[in-house]
Structure 1
């Protein structure tokens, strides 16, 4: 009796394994609705990127503890003022690469002269990533500087002469 049940089970399993696969209609198309969460996720990522940039700037500024409170306030206000010519809109999409190439792109778009790199060049490139869709060159430079962190410093030297815009300077630390 057990032998018959075992034989029937084995034959049944073998027959199930030989079952034909359902055919797929290649003419039918599948459309996907965009998820409402994609936009929210992108907004959240942008907010996180901004927060990280502000944190990095705050950490960099906290090193200047030898300054008086009034000097720190003046320096803070000066750093938030947009230099002439950096209000140019940058449309580079999502960009990733060495910091020198990113600064070259910004300098070409703004007319600023690129100076540097100064200091000892690191063994590996400092890689930066930014999304530049309808953003000012000033905002993109702030992102680049924050991402460089303790490896490099990005400075903007504004020329007071009306004929020249200024210089973007890269210094490796």
Structure 2
């Protein structure tokens, strides 16, 4: 069931950081104007947004993070193009708000992927890591690729690599 739910979200994108109310009642038009400019895409680019809304929940009070936008694109290649543009552009800001784009994943899958967060941070500082669907940590080191489905095995790999690096420095 979880796999089916995530496949149904395949064309979805989650955007964090836009303040509440900036869309003035028409989120699709707002995003069609702002996203190409923000990501450095062609201004004539047609995003083909099928549906867009704020995530569910009550309107927020001051000092709380604004709710995310959930966007469903008509075509997967547009969603993929936005992901690539986000990756190439680096940190995004709009009117002094930090903007982040993520794939829209189910809560269960997000929690499975979050267990690798600390290991991924440590590995990214050393230049090698990747997290693949659904929740698989793939590491390529010295031309050899290994995959990990659980945190314990990934931590064991990290600790062995750190001890090897430490031994080389001595």
TM-score bracket, normalised by the shorter chain, equals under 0.3
* Greater C-alpha Rg: 1
TM-score by length of 1: 0.26
Larger relative helix fraction = 1
What is the TM-score with the length of structure 2 in the denominator? Answer: 0.26
